[in-house]
Amino acid sequence: MQSRSLSRELALLVLGQVSEQKRFNQGDLAIENLLQKALDSLMQHWRETLDRSAEGLEQAQQNLLDSELKESGTSHLESVRTSLRSSLAAAEQVLNGLSSSMELPRLILLGDQDQIRAAALKRVTLVLNQRSVIDAQLDQVMEGWRLSRLPRIDRDILRLAVIDLVDLETPAPVAFNEAVELAHRYSDEQGRRMINGVLRRFHDSVSASSTVSS
């Protein structure tokens, strides 16, 4: 179970290093190179999240200064509190993510490296070979939203979950749980809700189509 989760997480991070406009040259990558790609992607993700958190804190500080210079109602103070809570939550997410990032290399080294590497590459290759089809299927269940508007990390979590459900025949509860767990580690509350809802609608759609065809 741990090897499968690690390979899924590694695949997610490697996908983040692959351009959505170019084909992936798989080659014969060593686990060290895969891990380096994953960590590069991860560091970039946390750096961007931390930058957004810093911007939010600066805005909250400015709002607080503005409130001291003029009489402000409860609504203005509540806006400051909301900005602070959002920025602090983002900062906490970065700290938790960095902790997970430092743990990932150790877990891979302790596990079956060949198995983890092979499973991660298989997932990456399946996603990239079917990406346009997967994206079209996900767009059909987005309910007024477009997959392209989601953050890259959320798009890749959804794509990997579709591979789990369709190609790897992972039981739906397991696939949902693994996707939400990845979202918990790398996305935010809105992303988790979106991913869970989209996957359930996707699964219902696939199940309905299977029933009709049979």
Cβ(4)–Cβ(119) under 8 Å? yes
Superfamily of domain 2-208: NusB-like (1.10.940.10)
Q: What is the mean pLDDT of the chain?
A: 76
Nearest to 186 by CA among 106, 101, 108, 119: 101
The C-alpha atoms of residue 209 and residue 45 are separated, in whole angstroms, by: 37
Q: What is the pLDDT of residues 161-193, one digit of tens each?
A: 999 999 998 999 999 999 998 888 888 788 888
Q: Which residue has the higher pLDDT, 24 or 39?
A: 39
What letter would DSSP give residue 167? T
Residue 102 has pLDDT above 60, yes or no: no
pLDDT level of residue 115 (50, 70, 90 thresholds): confident
Question: Has residue 120 got a pLDDT over 80?
Answer: yes
Q: Which amino acid is residue 107, in one-letter code?
A: L
pTM, full prediction: 0.69
Number of neighbouring beta carbons within 10 Å of residue 68:
7
Buried b (16+ CB within 10 A) or exposed e, 32-57: eebbebbbebbeebbeebbeebeebb
Is 50 exceeded by the pLDDT of residue 28? no
Q: For residue 179, what pLDDT is reported?
A: 94
Examine the pLDDT at 155 and tell me if it is beyond 60: yes
Contact 164, 130 (CB under 8 A): no
Residue 117: the pLDDT is 77
Q: What is the mean pLDDT of residues 100-114?
A: 58
Instruction: Look up residue 157 and give its amino acid.
Output: I
